Chain A
Amino acid sequence: MVKKVITGNGASANGARLAKPKVIAAYPITPQTSIIEKLALMVSNGELDAKFIKVESEHSAMAACIAAQNTGVRTYTASSSHGLALMHELLMWASGARLPIVMTDVNRAMGPPWSIWADQQDTIAQRDTGWIQFYVASNQEALDTIILAYKVAETVNLPAMSIEDAFILSHTMESVDIPEQETVDSFLPPYEPKFRLKVGEPMGFGSLVMPEGYMEFRYKISEAMDEARNVIRTVGKEFGETFGRKYGLVEEYKTDDAEVVLVIAGSVASTAMEVVDMMRDEGKKAGVLRIRSFRPFPYEEIRKVAKQAGLIGVFDRSYTGGFGGAIGTEVKGALYNSDASLPVKNYIAGLGGRDITPKVLRKIFEDMFESLNGGVKKEVEWVGLRDGSGRW
């Protein structure tokens, strides 16, 4: 193990290198990030034995990964914002064809207006593509999640995405433990798919299915996604035993006795944990539930926390136009048929990279305590809006 100070993009590139993909296909220009640049260098200098395919669009990048993965090899790609949107059709194909492709998305806002900054709209918009989605909160986790994602994806035969915040992780250097190749190899064995395209053995993938058969294929995907929930828990535990860093579907921070719990995905959760400690120093019982796996959705973990909390706040760094944020509506959905009966307030914040400081998070926690005592006055509230109200 080597400890290095590297960016989130460097961490993701190292995670991909250690997972030994045989094919990396990527579009090299904006909105591409330096992840691909670093991997191209590793391939060219012999550090990574893989075929690097430079393609003319992100749509083609995913098409190349699909074709390569069909031949029975591990593949990887990375993209961001509009590049991920352009991939949409092929993201559907990858999950439908049950190909455990792993990619990294650098979370960025969608234009217009043009923006290159942190926002979860690009990946939230891909919620229904059948991909497992992991939101990471540190550079270490960006590296670890790629290795872990391959193991989960290859167990349930679904593709997986590791998602890191633009700039806040992608361009920020942090101390990262880079595991030894041998340790990674012992954790992640070579990819051995049940079916693969071979020259001389014709086989069809993804052909036409009549209405009598289609639903069963979709049901199998739904079952695999449900199975992924337990696989993530098991593999996350095994990861902890091998590398000393354990991961689950969520990370709970001081939720055991919390009166208010803020649910967050991504690196803002890390800052929020710092703020929870400040609030606790003042005797205010706040907690954070960080969603690491958004797909599959950790509804059991959310129900558990809701059992003892008085109010749940949900932080969404995206919006769905019509009814708050996606995580907000899903948390409410998870609670409706449960024993929990508590108010949920949805905060929309940090869109287009607006910086989420401890001060902003503190105001959110204070608003949660106010809502706990005085009732939720606004179910969905945009935080820090320059609307002249001076509220935030």
Chain B
Amino acid sequence: MIEIRFHGRGGQGAVIASEMVAVAAASEGYDVSAFPYFGVERRGAPVTAFTRLDRRPIRTKCQIYEPDYVVILDTALLETVDVLAGLKESGVVLVNTDKTPADMKAILKTDRRVITVDATAIAIRNRLGSSASPIVNTAIVGAFARISGLLSLESTKKSVMDLAPVKKENNAQAAEDAYNETKEE
């Protein structure tokens, strides 16, 4: 079973990102579940969302405490949220930042694999949200597909097209751009 935890802020689309990964994985034959942190939602507040994927039927029905992947949509959260909590030894961190993976690794003070993608620049380039408040979720989903190797670009784009409420083409393009621009050192 593969467990993924997304960290974002209300309005960035972290919950929909968790759902897009689930829908794409389901189309590739995985059993899936996707859910937000069981709490109360407010715009701007920290948001946590989860996705589980497995080749067997998923029976575990509780929140995720030891993820295989942590996906960070907004580095402003690093000051207030313990984003790496419970991350497995073999775990991977995907961060939306313009910094290099090496710089990000130093900031996070972790020895886990760290991968970066400038999802904010990709979202702005594809006119998703405003430059002050870009909607970065579809770019981060594209990046996740690339780094995890779990999802093909086609199924990812299709899931983005299905679930993006508006600007479907732009969102799919953002996913593709991120798929191609994700960096690991």
Contacts and interface: CB of A to CB of B under 8 A. Distances in A.
Tell me, yes or no, whether A binds B: yes
Interface of A: 3, 5, 116-118, 137, 165-169, 171-175, 267-268, 270-271, 273-274, 353, 355-358
Contact of B62 (A5, A173, A271, A273): A271
A271 B61 CA distance: 6
Given A5-B23, A116-B40, A270 B59 contact: yes
A277 to B, nearest CB: 9
A358 B60 contact: yes
A172 B34 contact: yes
A173 B60 contact: no
Contact of B26 (A3, A172, A358): A3
Task: Classify chain B's interface size.
Answer: 10 to 19
B35 A172 contact: yes
Contacts of B62: 168, 271, 355-358
B33 interface: yes
A117 B38 contact: yes
A3 B22 CA distance: 13
Contacts of B23: 5, 173
10 contacts: A5-B19, A5-B26, A165-B61, A168-B35, A169-B61, A171-B36, A172-B61, A173-B33, A271-B59, A358-B60
B61 A5 contact: no
Contacts of A168: 35, 38, 61-62
A357 B65 contact: yes
B33 A174 contact: yes
Residue of B34, B38, B61, B65 with highest tally of chain A CB at under 10 A:
B61
A267 B61 contact: yes
Given A3-B26, A165-B61, 7 more contacts: A173-B35, A174-B32, A175-B31, A175-B32, A271-B62, A355-B63, A357-B63
Contact of B32 (A167, A173, A270, A357): A173
A111 to B, nearest CB: 14
A356 B60 CA distance: 10
Given A5-B22, A116-B40, A173-B19, A268 B61 contact: yes
Contacts of A274: 59-60
A175 B26 contact: yes
A166 B33 CA distance: 15
Interface string B124-161: 00000000000000000000000000000000000000
Contacts of B36: 171
Contacts of A271: 59-62
Contacts of A267: 61
A137 B57 CA distance: 13
A172 B33 CA distance: 7
Interface string B52-70: 0000001111110100000
A353 B31 CA distance: 25
B65 A167 contact: no
A5 B16 CA distance: 12
Nearest to A359: B65
B141 to A, nearest CB: 14
A38 to B, nearest CB: 15
Nearest to B23: A5
Contacts of A353: 38
Nearest to A266: B61
A3 B19 CA distance: 15
Contacts of B38: 117-118, 166-168, 171, 353, 355
Interface string B6-41: 000000000000010011001000011111101010
A358 B23 CA distance: 25
A264 to B, nearest CB: 11
A356 to B, nearest CB: 6
Contacts of A268: 61
A167 B22 contact: no
Nearest to A270: B59
A288 to B, nearest CB: 10
Residue of B31, B35, B65 with highest tally of chain A CB at under 10 A:
B35
A303 to B, nearest CB: 26
A5 B19 CA distance: 8
Residue of B26, B62, B65 with highest tally of chain A CB at under 10 A:
B62
Residue of A118, A167, A175, A355 with highest tally of chain B CB at under 10 A:
A175
Nearest to A117: B38
A356 B19 CA distance: 23
Contacts of B34: 5, 172-173
A169 B58 CA distance: 13
Smallest CB-CB A-B distances: 9 pairs: A172-B35, A167-B38, A173-B34, A267-B61, A270-B59, A274-B59, A357-B62, A5-B23, A355-B62
B61 to A, nearest CB: 4
A376 B14 CA distance: 46
